[in-house]
Amino acid sequence: MAALKWCSHFYENRFPLQSMIKQLTHTLSKVGLNTFFFLMIGAIFLAWLYPPIGVAGSPLHLPAIAGFGVSVIFFFYGAKLSPESLLHGLKKWRLHLVVQLSTFVLFPLTIMAARSLFSDYFSTTLGIGIFYLAALPSTVSSSVVMVSIARGNIAAAIFNASISSILGIFITPLWMSSVLAKSQPGFDITHTILQLCFQVLLPVVAGLLLHHKLAHWLSGYKNTLRSFDQLIILLIVYTSFCESFSGDQFKSFSISEIIILGAMMLTLFLVVFALMNQISVWMGFKREERITVIFCGSKKSLVQGVVMGKVLFTDPAILGVVLLPLMLYHALQLMAGSTIANVMGKESMEEHSSDKAT
């Protein structure tokens, strides 16, 4: 033990820069600024440098590859779901109802109220992107991770995130039809839902049916599958921004506008987070259930956002702008959510220790 401490002390003194970088990386990852976040920023920067590589007419066919990769992602997502766990999760129906109402009703209504006050802003492509964010389902991985850190009901978090992803295939296009019918002439809600069913729902169902055959095999490749998921999302983000930069969609944007948009997204997250906490108190939920409600009910899925965006928005040039509010919200929900989850987790541990002592 003494030798290990000496080696650690020697390393920190001999290589202080490496030690500082390691500590900085650990600190950033705790607040949600992980490798994937910086890779996403890098993908946007690459798209800005030379957009022709990622557009639809490119000989590399990157958008087509990304579309195929999406179906593979959702197939493995379905294969990882346990039918038994989903059925067992139905017992907490009051909790699930509150989360889903927050995801698919509270969010859109909040933005609709803001749109009635600032109609000019919300009629722009960026405003449509904000409403699109509000209509999306909850995210899976980060919700479960943060509920786990905060010591909430993990089983209920998995159930809610899974059901939200499936419901979003139908509910998100219905919400967006009211906006896209005006901005996209000829928008067909039936065609859109059928396309999403084919690209997303069908792979999920196929994977779910093969769960018992593939679950054990998949458990050995968790890191590989996570890397594949992130690669496809980065590819979609890259190609979307290539199209937007090629069409000069960001020409009129200033840094101050991006900062204001980021402040709006953080405010939206904190408002919904606070509302869900208060509703959980009114509903009489236990601490573990309240944690699940506030984290699952305040998240939005970047994965489904980029997937549905490719189907819902027929003009690929505007997709990068539409996704900008979602990407900012994604980063901010990770940073704010991780910080809050760590605080709540420590509080839970302290309460548990004090209960043991008494």
What are the extents of the domains in the chain? 38-346
Q: Are 144 and 162 within 8 A, CB to CB?
A: no
pLDDT category of residue 23 using cuts at 50, 70 and 90: low
CA dist., res. 74 & res. 243, Å (int): 25
CA dist., res. 146 & res. 274, Å (int): 16
Coarse DSSP helix, strand, coil percentages of the chain, rounded to the nearest 5 percent: 85, 0, 15
What residues have CB less than 8 Å from 280, skipping those under 6 apart? Answer: 98, 289, 290, 293, 294
Give the sign of the dihedral formed by CA 205, CA 326, CA 313, CA 241.
Answer: negative
Of residues 73, 255, 87, the one with CA closest to residue 165: 73
Does residue 24 carry a pLDDT above 50? no
CA dist., res. 308 & res. 314, Å (int): 11
pLDDT category of residue 274 using cuts at 50, 70 and 90: very high
Q: What is the DSSP string of 317-343?
A: HHHHHHHHHHHHHHHHHHHHHHHHHHH
The region of weakest confidence among 31-35, 267-271, 329-333 is 31-35
| Phi then psi dihedrals of residue 163, to 5 deg | -65, -40
260 is written with which tokens? Answer: 């204001």
CA dist., res. 224 & res. 26, Å (int): 21
Over residues 285-311, mean pLDDT: 87
CA dist., res. 306 & res. 234, Å (int): 10
Does residue 136 carry a pLDDT above 80? yes
Q: What is the pLDDT of residue 132?
A: 93
Does residue 38 carry a pLDDT above 60? yes
What does the pLDDT look like over 98-115, one tens digit per residue?
999 999 999 999 999 888
Instruction: Return the CATH number of 38-346, one of 3.30.1180.20, 1.10.3210.10, 1.20.1530.20, 3.40.50.1010.
Output: 1.20.1530.20
Over residues 24-42, mean pLDDT: 63
The region of weakest confidence among 16-30, 47-61, 149-163, 200-214 is 16-30
Does residue 266 carry a pLDDT above 80? yes
Q: What is the pLDDT of residue 207?
A: 86
pLDDT category of residue 356 using cuts at 50, 70 and 90: low
Which amino acid is present at 210? L
Q: Are 98 and 279 within 8 A, CB to CB?
A: yes
Mean pLDDT, the chain, as a whole number?
Answer: 79
Q: What is the pLDDT of residue 2?
A: 52
Q: What is the pLDDT of residue 31?
A: 46
CA dist., res. 241 & res. 221, Å (int): 30
CA dist., res. 137 & res. 298, Å (int): 10
Q: What is the DSSP string of 215-276?
A: HHHHHTTHHHHHHHHHHHHHHHHHHHHHHHHHTTTTTT--HHHHHHHHHHHHHHHHHHHHHH
The region of weakest confidence among 129-143, 282-296, 334-348 is 334-348
Q: What is the pLDDT of residue 268?
A: 92
Give the sign of the dihedral formed by CA 289, CA 291, CA 292, CA 298.
Answer: positive
Label residue 61 left, alpha or beta by phi (over 0 means left) and psi (-120 to 50 means alpha): left
Q: Are 88 and 100 within 8 A, CB to CB?
A: no
Of residues 86, 83, 77, 330, the one with CA closest to residue 222: 77
Q: What is the pLDDT of residue 227?
A: 82
34 is written with which tokens? Answer: 């992980």
CA dist., res. 167 & res. 204, Å (int): 12
Maximum separation of any 2 CA atoms in the chain, in Å:
72
Does residue 19 carry a pLDDT above 70? no
Burial of 268 (0-12, 13-18, 19+ CB in 10 A): buried
